Amino acid sequence: MLLAFDIGNTTIAVGLFRGKKLVKSWKIKTDSDKTSDEYGAVLLNLMQVGGLAAGKITGAIISSVVPPLTPVIEEMCLAYFSMTASVVGQGLKTGMPILYENPLEVGADRITAAVAAFEKYGGPLIVLDFGTATTFDAVSAKGEYLGGAIAPGVRISAEALYLKTAKLPRIEIRKPKRAIGRTTVSSMQSGLYFGYIGLVTNTIREIRKELGESARVIATGGFGGQVVPEFQEIEAYEPDLVLEGLRIIHERNRDARA
């Protein structure tokens, strides 16, 4: 079985694959102060509760946008599963040409999600990730990663309002009943929610002008489950897209070595 780790700014998504099937997935809070032993204990606990044997792990792969945590998870894989984990980055085959001016600047999660989306849906397409940041990634009809756009996630925007103003509170992000708020909280919810919908819709429209109006839009990311129904442009929501991409990249490199 393959262990796949998507290390994000807010959570670490962990997936366990048997062949092409995602058997189990978990979300662990991202904490750069945790040691490899602490992460190992948490993961072993989760596997035990799920009735999964650690001894059945035959491979591990990591995508990370939190550099300090990458060696911690690598160390954990070695210590608890006797596996040397592959890390998405320079030296690992993705099967997708990256046409960014500096390919090393692109987040591993963005490439990994693009690989999975193109494998399943073909191109051209826009991969939209509703994560801590909101990212838009353009993939050509030939399967080339072209670049994209990065915007604040809605939670970042909400936190900025709370931290950078004297009187605005920290609020729950949800769709308000009306656009005209009659309290401070409902006014903030209106601005954040409907403003965010506008940001996403307009960015998709502008990218399609350059990529082609036929470009499909595939979404992923934790906040997507809440907002995807607002967008007619989004064809599918794939919450485990990065984990699936990690499986695909692992298989491509395993086959290349073979």
Residues designated as active site: 109
Instruction: List, in order, residues 6 or more apart from 211 with CB less than 8 Å away.
Output: 124, 126, 138, 140, 146
Closest residue by Cα to residue 254 from 16, 59, 41, 5: 59
Q: Where are the beta strands (DSSP E) in the chain?
A: 2-7, 11-18, 21-29, 59-64, 86-87, 125-130, 133-139, 145-152, 216-220, 234-237
Q: Which residue has the tokens 């925007």?
A: 157
* Contact residues for 116 (Cβ-Cβ < 8 A; gap 6+): 238, 241, 242, 244, 245, 248
Burial call 118-151: b when 16+ CB within 10 Å, e when fewer:
beebebbbbbbbbbbbbbbbbbbeebbbbbbbee
The β-bridge relationship of strands 234-237 and 216-220 is parallel
- Least Cα distance to 86 among 111, 102, 64 occurs for 64
The residue type found at 38 is: E
